[in-house]
Homo-oligomer: A and B are copies of this chain.
Amino acid sequence: METTKSHAVYGGTLRYLKHDSATTGTPMTLSVFTPAGEGPFPVLIWLSGLTCTEDNFTTKAGAYKAAAEHGFIIVAPDTSPRGEGVADDPAYDLGQGAGFYVDATQAPWAPHFRMESYVTDELIALIDAECPTTKTRSIFGHSMGGHGALTLALRHPDLFKSVSAFAPISSPTRCPWGEKALSAYLGEDRAEWAKHDAALLIEGGAAAGRFDDILVDQGDADPFLAEQLKPELLAAAAKAAGQRLTLRMQPGYDHSYFFMASFVDDHVAFHATRLKA
C-alpha cells in the first residue's frame, strides 16, 4: 500500500492509501485511522454511499475522536473501482461511485465491479496484514453503504462482531436505486437480487442469532426516506424474524454528513460494546 497523504488527528494517524487490487483489477483508494499506541486495535469498516469516495466520511463524519477514545482503527474504502478502462454510466447511481457492495455478474460490470469480495476478502486481509489489528472487526455505513454494511454482515457473519447503519437502503429489491443497480450488476433474476437485500436476508433468517442487536439511525427529514430507504421494511423483517433491531427515527435530520456526525459517537460506542465483549 502506498501512503498518499498522512495527517495527525486526535493523537492518532489518518492515512490516505492506494493499492493495486487483485479483486477489482484496478488501483483502489481508502483511508485508515490508527489511534495512538501500539495496539492491537479492533477495526471498524465504514462503507460510504452513492457518489462518495474514501474522502467524504474521512473529512466530514467526525468519527475519529470517538475512535481514538475507544482505541479503534477505522477503514473507509472507496465505493467502487474507478479509472479508464473501468465501465461507467453517466448517472450518479450506477457505475463508478456506485458499486453497491456486490460482485457483478453482468457485462460490462463483471470484470471490475467486485466490491463484496474486495471488502470481505482483500481489504480485511490487507488491513490485518499491514495494521496492528486484533483481527476482529465491525462494519457500518451510510445509504448505499448502509445497505453494504447490513448485507455484508448478514452474508458473512463470521467476519463481523456487529453492524450498524445510517439511513441504509433497507430493501434494494423494492426501491428505484436498488432495482436499477441490481439489475445492471446481477441481471434480471430477482432471486439473485434477494441475496443482497438486507430486509429479505433478515426475514429469511440470515445470521439468525449472530447479532444481539442492529443499530439503525434514520432522519425523518431525509428526502430519500419514503422512496429509496424504507427502514420500515427492515423493522418489519426484524420483527418477523425475531432479530433485535433498534431503529431510531431522528426528528428533523436529513441525509447529510451533518446527520451522521450528530450520531456517529453512538455508533462507535455500540460497536465498542460488542468488539470489546
Name A residues whose Cβ lies closer than 8 Å to a Cβ of B. 7-11, 14, 59-60, 62, 64-65, 219, 221, 250-254, 256-259, 261-262
Q: From B7, B10, B252, B253, give the contact of A254 (CB < 8 A).
A: B7
Please indicate the chain B residues that have their CB under 8 angstroms from the CB of A252 in the complex: 8
Task: Identify which of A9, A11, A221 gathers the most chain B CB atoms within 10 Å of its CB.
Answer: A9
Distance in angstroms from A138 CB to nearest chain B CB is 22
Q: How far is the CA of A257 from the CA of B59 in the complex (A)?
A: 8
Q: From B8, B9, B60, B262, give the contact of A8 (CB < 8 A).
A: B262
Please indicate the chain B residues that have their CB under 8 angstroms from the CB of A59 in the complex: 59-60, 257
Distance in angstroms from A230 CB to nearest chain B CB is 21
B9 near A259 (CB under 8 angstroms)? yes
Between A and B, 10 residue pairs with Cβ closer than 8 Å are A7-B256, A8-B253, A8-B258, A9-B258, A9-B259, A9-B261, A10-B261, A10-B262, A11-B262, A60-B60
Q: From B11, B62, B219, give the contact of A62 (CB < 8 A).
A: B62
Q: From B10, B11, B251, B262, give the contact of A9 (CB < 8 A).
A: B262
Q: How far is the CA of A143 from the CA of B253 in the complex (A)?
A: 32
Distance in angstroms from A49 CB to nearest chain B CB is 16
Please indicate the chain B residues that have their CB under 8 angstroms from the CB of A257 in the complex: 59
Closest to A63 in B: B62
Known: A8-B253, A59-B257. 12 other contacts (CB 8 A): A7-B254, A7-B259, A8-B219, A8-B221, A8-B259, A8-B262, A9-B258, A10-B262, A59-B59, A64-B261, A65-B261, A65-B262
